[in-house]
Chains A and B, each alone.
Chain A
Amino acid sequence: MSAAPADLPDRGGLNADVLSADARREALALLGLCSPGIVLVGIIIVLPIGWLFWLSLFDETGMLSGANYARVVEQASYVRTFITTFEVAFIVTGLCVLLGYPLAYMLSQLPRRAASICLIFVILPFWTSVLVRTYAWLVILQRKGLLNTWLMDLGVISQPLPLAHNFTGVLIGMTHILLPFLVLPLYASMKAIDADYLRAAMNLGAPPTATFWQIFFPLSLPGLAAGVVIVFILCLGFFVTPALMGGGKVIMWAMRMEQTTSLYSNWGAGSALGVVLLAVTLGLLGVFRWLLGARATSAWGAR
């Protein structure tokens, strides 16, 4: 059937037909083992997304047009959404790096036992509902929340600080939720750095600071990059925290999609937003894999 040129010499070899039939049977059986999963993903993910994509190609009158995509770039409210989304994504990613790098560095320096205990605190949040964590921040940050109450009791401030239901709240909540996604791959890459490099560098007389910046930091970059890409991509499509902590003022991409489809039932426009989001996500991942090789994206399953 699919005879590559290399197959030809075996044609007519003893039992070649029996063996290739057997090979086909096994391949089919293995495919059969995967098929429930493939079918499910096909029906629940591929089919609807393909359908939405199809919808996005038609305007309200049912004519084939690029109107939905044109609106995505032209309409001011959409453009504002993109700006907000990327703004949030960049700042949250930056905050995650600022907080995550020292944490991962500390974890990688701790003795094994202490590190694995500290690591629990990084992984446990993965297992905790996003809603619970968002609720916690609401309780702490809102107008009459814990933080404002304390600060006023202590006399530090006289007016409650606007911490929740705005941009700040979204940043804090998202950083809190996405931080582990950055720390885990980064920590893994730091643990993989061969201590001999560092010793060698120091034997050659490099001072600790130079050893860090010239050896350790560059070697940790692949892990950092993996974490950054994961966090950034998750930011782009994030829904729960901005919806609950943005107070309706911070409209991000996913929220815009939800509003467009649920509130205004404009499936064409909502689908176009989704298609662009998916394209950007896959594009970023593709660029990243191309730059760093496949291994980095596997950090995803770290939960």
Chain B
Amino acid sequence: MNDDLGLPISHGRRLWLYTVGALVLLFLIVPSLIIVPMSFSGSTLLQFPPESWSLRWYEAYFQSVEWRDATIVSLKAAVLTTMVATPIGVAAAYALNSGALRLAGFINAVLTASLIIPVILIGIGTFFLYARIGLNNTLTGLVLAHTVQALPLVVLTVLSGFRSYDMNQERVARSLGAGRLAAFWQVTVPQIRFSIVSGALFAFITSFDEVVVSLFISGGETTTLTRRMFSALRDQIDPTIAAISTCLILLSVVLFSAAQLFGRKR
């Protein structure tokens, strides 16, 4: 086989390498996939493969007010987070990319801080702060905390979009009579839109899948899906969760494919 590196390994070793690699890939992907058929099981026992098939766990999911409310809260939070984090992140990325920003390195570090700071600390910190300003168990509080966590991903994705974009285009647009905003909007945005969309998708999934901070600051009316799942997993393993997980996997695959699709066009 002709490969890029052309590092000759004997066939035996290559076979060995590929076997190990394939097993590791399976280790990464199979556990999540096993959930899918199990969610269609007809029995209360978790079996693989299931002995009988039914949609009862999906019915259980959709008919449970608690699960449904939690899902709606998570969706709301994710949509709002996306709507807040994307423009903030794009604006910051624009400024960081301009080269004329002072302290750009420091600002970049601040904006991406939540990638490095242990999530548990953010959770405890926001809980502590929100307790004083009455934001615990509110959608606002949830969206603000998730926005901070989604921001680095938007900033980094859009910055990488800028990197493969020729800033001379915006310059030329300005010399042709477009103001800075008009040039950005008419010329730059159409060309980095794929990065912006990828960043927005990141923001969405970051919020939707966020567990640790939500454990602390969501509850009551605004219990998120992840928080409810976490509690359910602590107590007992109900096949309803298999149905929910399957839905989440489907959502991941859809968002991931969208991001890949947009990423390719970049």
Contact = CB atoms under 8 A, between A and B. Distances in A.
Contacts of B22: 106
A218 to B, nearest CB: 14
Interface residues on A, range: 35 or more
Nearest to A216: B7
Contacts of B144: 40, 43-44
A103 B5 CA distance: 16
A277 B118 contact: yes
Given A99-B24, A108-B5, A45 B233 contact: no
B32 A133 contact: yes
B46 interface: yes
Nearest to B34: A136
Interface stretch (A7-15, A66-74, A86-94, A278-286): A278-286
Interface string A22-60: 000011001101101110111111111101100000000
A240 B2 contact: no
Interface in A236-261: 236-237, 239-240, 243-244, 253-254, 257-258, 261
B111 interface: yes
A111 B21 contact: no
Contact-residue size bin, chain B (C-beta under 8 Å from the other chain): 35 or more
B88 to A, nearest CB: 5
Contacts of B7: 109, 195, 198, 208, 211-212, 216
B128 interface: yes
Contacts, number: 290
A102 B18 CA distance: 8
B73 interface: no
B contact patch SS: helix
A135 B124 contact: no
B230 A274 contact: no
Interface string A99-138: 1101101111111100000101111110111111111111
Contact of A208 (B8, B153, B157): B8
A180 B155 CA distance: 21
Given A37-B92, A44-B126, A301 B5 contact: no
A240 B89 contact: no
A142 interface: yes
B63 interface: no
28 contacts: A41-B148, A44-B144, A44-B147, A45-B122, A51-B125, A51-B128, A52-B121, A102-B20, A128-B249, A129-B209, A129-B248, A131-B209, A135-B233, A135-B245, A136-B31, A139-B34, A145-B46, A198-B5, A208-B7, A257-B121, A258-B120, A267-B128, A274-B121, A278-B118, A282-B116, A285-B116, A300-B115, A301-B152
Interface stretch (B171-179, B185-193, B234-242): B234-242
